[in-house]
Amino acid sequence: MVNPLEITEMEDVVVRFSGDSGDGMQLAGNIFSTVSATVGNSISTFPDFPADIRAPQGSLTGVSGFQVHIGSCQVYTPGDLCDVLVAMNAAALKTQYRYAKPSAAIIIDTDSFGPNDLKKAEFQTADYLGEMGIDPDRVIACPLTQMVKDCLSDSGMDVKAMMKCRNMFALGLVCWLFDRDLDIAFNFLRDKFAKKPAVAEANIKVIRAGYDYGHNTHSSVAGVRRIETRNKVPGRYMDITGNKATAYGLIAAAEKAGLKLYLGSYPITPATDILHELSKHKSLRVTTVQCEDEIAGCASAVGASFAGALACTSTSGPGICLKSEAINLAVIMELPLVVIDVQRGGPATGLPTKSEQTDLLQVLYGRNGESPMPVIAATSPTDCFDAAYNACKIALEHMTPVVLLTDGYVANGSGALRLPELDRMPDINPPFVPEDLRGSWTPYMRADNGTRYWAVPGREGFEHILGGLEKDCNTGAISTNPENHDLMTRLRQQKVENITVPDLEVLGDKDDAELLIVGFGGTYGHLHAAMDELRAQGHKVALAHLKYINPLPANTSEVLRKYGKVVVAEQNMGQLAGYLRMKVDGFVPHQYNEVKGQPFNVATLVSEFTELINR
């Protein structure tokens, strides 16, 4: 039945596209977010893919999802639950329905709910909606596959090629639901398939068919929803994932420092896209070496650093285990190195495609000997750019390896990045050994801030040998002298402590919060959203979110001790809480810990924190 068309204005909306991992849900989701961002909506996305590359078609394990949150004002997370769920087959409905709000509209392709499909999705009866307890009035059930076939019947495409366009029909329908401008989607497709114009046009035709279907039927649950844009920060923007933003941060830093960028890496989920991205940009002199193992990835970067490059290695937790020895070599040789750890579920192989914050203590302490090393944690996909840039700046200016922590959620999620201007980024000045020290220079001579000078091979008069053995602080020769080792240990420690990082900012009710939430890295959006919600409910709440973990901001102790009730919320069993307790005298926080491999759920956080406030 067809209702009169309504247009409802909404603050924000969450759409989740789901289907078989071969159904192109990531592409549909990407296009929808780009279309929305282009009109100025705030966006936050989260792709949720299965670990299997191609699980059996239609099976429960093969379902791939892409969630996008669009808002008229700032959105901080991809959203807990969706307002619209697109389920391209029975398995998708079965596994993804739990991410839908009770009021959500559900779009299904009835052609993918045949007896076989239902069996593969482990439905017991033909009444799949009844089995799931879904109200049929909320479902837009359309014979999507057949309509795509009809739409492309005169295209000369074979059925297999036609089926690849099904995602575009769903996209068209969603674009109608949210009154999106199709031209932006068309341009995106013409760009993406620039070399295959026929494919682009077929996709465009199907999007339009999906849009028209929505327009012509706008059945029960429909009605167009409009997300206007408010609080716009003027500027030029692009949609960027965390991994791509990390790669861009490295490129920007290398250019600013005037150094060649070198990445030694080994493929590992969810970090590989950094290698993919950097390997494209040879026209910027970026050198990437896909090494024989994680060890060589890091070891070759140490070699490149010695040779005078901005050297990086990218990996995830299991790779950090293998790189630790070479990282430690950079610690004792005092060479710059940026180690990117895109955290995933552990231990061991763990949950490769899922996200956790469980590597914190590993990167802080997981090496032999006293091995102080700066650690920075990126807070959002777009923040990966700044975090990577600053990791490079610290590494180069303080002659030390630096760990940049991101996670699967931040790395694969995306946001709108305001285009950075390199001229306005802070300078990067490595401590190259001054020419006038020629003749008197020894390898462990230090500048005023305790940093060892950098003598890059090729400079006459500065030939020297570094190494993994302890060195005499004056001569640079191998030394086992007990006093010297004690001194060198302290000098390396002091060098890291001397690094200046920005103060810890307190957001929300900074003067009179009844609860201070403390987090680090990728949970920023969820903790911020939880704080906003609690404050909207009338609670006094503040958030102190750490980005610099080592060294800690100078005001950390002051901030943490200021509030009566503090909760450290993290996706591990309490690693940050334990670290802060060690660093801040008398600090005894409450803890909220979750290790599910999934982003925090804002509603859960709100309920947990409310209970804490009322306790």
From 4, 102, 234, 586, residue interacting with another protein (rule: CB under 8 A): 234
Structure tokens at 436: 């006038």
Long-range pairs for 529-533 at CB < 8 Å and ≥24 separation? 529/76, 529/77, 529/602, 530/600, 530/602, 530/605, 530/606, 530/609, 531/507, 532/76, 533/602, 533/606
* Binding flag, residue 426, another protein (CB under 8 A): no
Ramachandran bin of 521, using left for φ above 0, alpha for ψ from -120 to 50, beta for the remaining angles? left
d(CA 81, CA 78): 9
Instruction: Number of residues interacting with another protein: please give it, by CB under 8 A.
Output: 72
Structure tokens of 592? 């909220």
By CB under 8 A, name the one of 48, 80, 109, 239 that touches another protein.
239
467 is a site residue for another protein (CB under 8 A): yes
For another protein, the closer CB: 243 or 601: 243
Q: Which is nearer to another protein, 281 or 510 (CB)?
A: 281
The residue from 123, 176, 248, 600 that contacts another protein (CB under 8 A) is 248
Residues 102, 347, 439, 458: which binds another protein (CB under 8 A)? 458
One-letter amino acid at 372 equals P
In the complex, minimum distance from the CB of residue 451 to another protein, in angstroms, rounded to a whole number: 19
Among the listed residues 466, 515, 559, 568, the single contact to another protein using CB under 8 A: 466
Minimal distance, residue 264 CB to another protein, in Å: 6
CB 296 within 8 A of CB 267: no
- Residue 104's H or E segment, with its range, is strand 100-109
Within 491-520, which residues bind another protein (CB under 8 A)?
A: none
Residues making up the chain, counted from first to last: 615
Indicate which single residue of 8, 124, 125, 283 sits in contact with another protein (rule: CB under 8 A).
Answer: 283
Distance CA 201, CA 399 (A): 53
Name the DSSP letter for residue 74.
Answer: -
Residue 466 Cβ, how far from another protein at the closest point, in Å?
Answer: 5
Residue number, 464 or 596, with CB nearest to another protein: 464
126 — phi, psi (to 5°)? Answer: -80, -15
Question: Between the CA of residue 96 and those of 48, 88, 139, 548, 605, what are the distances in Å?
Answer: 11, 11, 14, 36, 21
Q: DSSP letters of 545-585?
A: EESEEESPPTTHHHHHHHSS-EEEEESSSSHHHHHHHHHST
- Closer residue to another protein (CB): 280 or 561: 280
Q: Is residue 311 at the binding interface for another protein, with CB under 8 A as the rule?
A: yes
Residues 536-565 that bind another protein (CB under 8 A): none
- 350 binds another protein, rule: CB under 8 A: no
**Residue 104 binds to another protein (criterion: CB under 8 A):** no
HEC string of 382-405 equals: CHHHHHHHHHHHHHHHHCCEEEEE
Which neighbouring-strand residues pair with 287? 262
d(Cα 514, Cα 497) in Å, to the nearest integer? 32
* Window 181 to 210, contacts with another protein (CB under 8 A): 188, 191
Cβ 408 vs Cβ 353: under 8 Å: yes
Task: Please pick, from the candidates 255, 470, 505, 514, the single residue that binds another protein as defined by CB under 8 A.
Answer: 255
Subset of 23-62 contacting another protein (CB under 8 A): 34, 37-40
CB of 265 to another protein, least distance (A): 11
CB of 281 to another protein, least distance (A): 7
Smallest gap, in angstroms, from Cβ of residue 41 to another protein?
Answer: 10
Quick one: which of 235, 258, 369, 426 contacts another protein (CB under 8 A)?
235
Smallest distance, another protein to C-beta of residue 255, A: 5
Question: Could you say which of 127, 421, 503, 558 contacts another protein (CB under 8 A)?
Answer: 421
Which is nearest to 408 in space by CA: 367, 329, 352? Answer: 352
d(CA 241, CA 417): 9
DSSP assignments along 39-72, one per residue: TT-EEEEEEE--SSSSPSTT-GGGEEEEEEEEES
Instruction: Verify binding: residue 296, another protein, rule CB under 8 A.
Output: yes
Find out whether 166 and 109 touch, Cβ atoms under 8 Å.
Answer: yes
Q: Closest distance between another protein and the C-beta of residue 550, in Å?
A: 23
Tell whether residue 308 is a contact of another protein (CB under 8 A): yes
With CB under 8 A as the contact rule, the residue among 460, 483, 511, 585 that binds another protein is: 460
- For residues 245 and 377, which CB has a smaller minimum distance to another protein in the complex? 245
Residue closest to 260 by CA, chosen among 299, 335, 310, 302: 310
Which residue in the set 32, 66, 262, 444 belongs to the binding site for another protein (CB under 8 A)? Answer: 262
Q: Does 258 contact another protein by CB under 8 A?
A: no
278 binds another protein (CB under 8 A): no
- Which among 50, 368, 387, 129 has a CA at the least distance from the CA of 248? 387
Given candidates 1, 348, 419, 588, which one binds another protein under the rule CB under 8 A?
Answer: 419
Among 6, 181, 183, 292, binds another protein (CB under 8 A): 292
Which one of 21-29, 219-227, 322-330, 396-404 is the stretch in contact with another protein (CB under 8 A)?
Answer: 322-330
Shortest distance in whole angstroms from residue 306 CB to another protein: 6
d(CA 288, CA 280): 9
User: Nearer to another protein by C-beta: 138 or 285?
Assistant: 285
Binders in 325-344 for another protein, by CB under 8 A: 325-326, 328-329, 333
Number of Cβ within a 10 Å radius of residue 565: 16
Structure-derived torsion over alpha carbons of residues 111, 116, 121, 127, reported in degrees to the nearest 10: 70
Residues 433-452 that bind another protein (CB under 8 A): none
The residue from 287, 353, 593, 610 that contacts another protein (CB under 8 A) is 287
Q: Which two tokens stand for residue 272?
A: 């590989």
Does position 427 interact with another protein (CB under 8 A)? The reply is: no
- In the complex, least distance from residue 206 CB atom to another protein, rounded to whole angstroms: 21
Q: Is 462 in the site for another protein (CB under 8 A)?
A: yes
| Edge-to-edge strand ranges of the sheet holding 566-570 | 506-508, 541-546, 515-520, 566-570, 590-593
Contacts of 485 (CB under 8 A, 6+ apart): 470, 479
Q: How far is the CB of 285 from another protein (least distance, A)?
A: 6
Give 196 or 459: the residue with its C-beta nearer to another protein.
Answer: 459
| 296 versus 549: smaller Cβ distance to another protein | 296
